[in-house]
Amino acid sequence: MRIFKSFYLLPIFLIIACGSMGVRTDAYSFKDPGCGTKNIKKILVYANVKDMQYRDVIESKIVNYFVKWNYNCVAVRSIDIVMPTRTYSTQELQKLFKENSIDAILTFTVTNLGYTQHQMTIDQPYQTYGNVYKGGSNYYYYNSQTYGGPQTYNFSKPYLDATADLFDPDTGNKLWTVALNSYGNAFANIDDALNDAVKTLVLKLEKDGVVKAHK
């Protein structure tokens, strides 16, 4: 089954830090017709990353959005059910999913991330500043400096590409998929791009009718 092949770990490096939010995320999704017939009450969220800290952080962010927006299904972290210290067979995973009443599995994978380098040149107006100094009883001298002209600045912008897939744990079939492309401004960092990608992912699930908010 394809879903169980997704439970491997990708080595990526994310800096979980504070930064100024200035990110846009584009999302392109597809919902399988079979998704509409699936009664989803509980979703297992699996962040496909190697580092346990980042797996914990990403899964928690997604689960927190489900709680914050009061959706009609529960999201749980895979790290609480599928232990990162253990290796599971397909049969063991299926048993875990049934024991925990998992109706669907949402996987999140970062496929690319980094910074693009940019350069900007600004022409500053020329300004001259000077001082007159007394060197003797009848002697003065003048010292001046001129500022301005072209000033070049280097800066970077973060980007992050990710995919998320929703699987049926009973059949292994993919019910829904989305490609996420996040772009930040010069004041944003990789963590900002990740946060916006995760938020956009959850909102896209709602927009596509996979989950609904309680009114």
pLDDT tens digit sequence for 149-190? 777 888 899 999 999 999 999 888 999 999 999 999 989 999
* Number of Cβ atoms within 10 Å of the Cβ of 190: 22
13 has a pLDDT exceeding 70: no
φ and ψ at residue 70, rounded to 5 degrees: 55, 60
pLDDT of residue 165: 97
Indicate left, alpha or beta for 194 from its phi (over 0: left) and psi (-120 to 50: alpha): alpha
The two tokens of residue 98 are 């049934």
pLDDT of residue 113: 92
Determine which of 90-94, 126-130, 138-142, 150-154 has the lowest per-residue pLDDT on average.
138-142
Domain boundaries, the chain: 2-13+21-117+157-207, 119-152
8 Å CB contact between 82 and 88: yes
User: Token pair 């003797």 is at which residue?
Assistant: 136
For domain 2-13+21-117+157-207, give its CATH number from 3.20.20, 3.30.450, 3.40.50, 3.30.310: 3.40.50
